[in-house]
Amino acid sequence: MTQAAWRQFFSYNRYTAICGRATRSALKESERVKAERRGETSLRYQEWKDGKAGEQTSIKAQPKQQ
């Protein structure tokens, strides 16, 4: 019963984000930097109109402030 206690307070995505952050913070400095780079995300989208592709737009992740 205590295994699922986190479900009362967090969604699964939030839970995994917390676990990942804790794991990355426990790593040595060089490994932590590599892990943080892998965690960065970005988004690219393209609008289509009348069957023709428009300009691609890239959205980079905002830097985290600590």
Give dist(CA 29, CA 25) in Å, integer.
Answer: 9
Q: Residue 43 falls within a domain, yes or no?
A: yes
Give dist(CA 52, CA 49) in Å, integer.
Answer: 5
Whether the pLDDT of residue 65 is over 80: the answer is no
Question: Whole-number mean pLDDT of the chain?
Answer: 78
pTM above 0.85, yes or no: no
Give 50 or 58, the one with higher predicted confidence. Answer: 50
- How many distinct structural domains can be found in the chain? 1
Could you read off the pLDDT of 19-49 as tens digits, one per residue?
888 888 888 988 888 887 776 667 788 888 8
Q: Which domain holds residue 31?
A: 2-60
Q: What is the DSSP letter of 60?
A: E
H or E stretch including 55?
strand 52-60
pLDDT of residue 1: 46
Give 17 or 63, the one with higher predicted confidence. Answer: 17
Q: Residue 7 falls within a domain, yes or no?
A: yes
Q: Residue 6 falls within a domain, yes or no?
A: yes
Give dist(CA 56, CA 40) in Å, integer.
Answer: 20
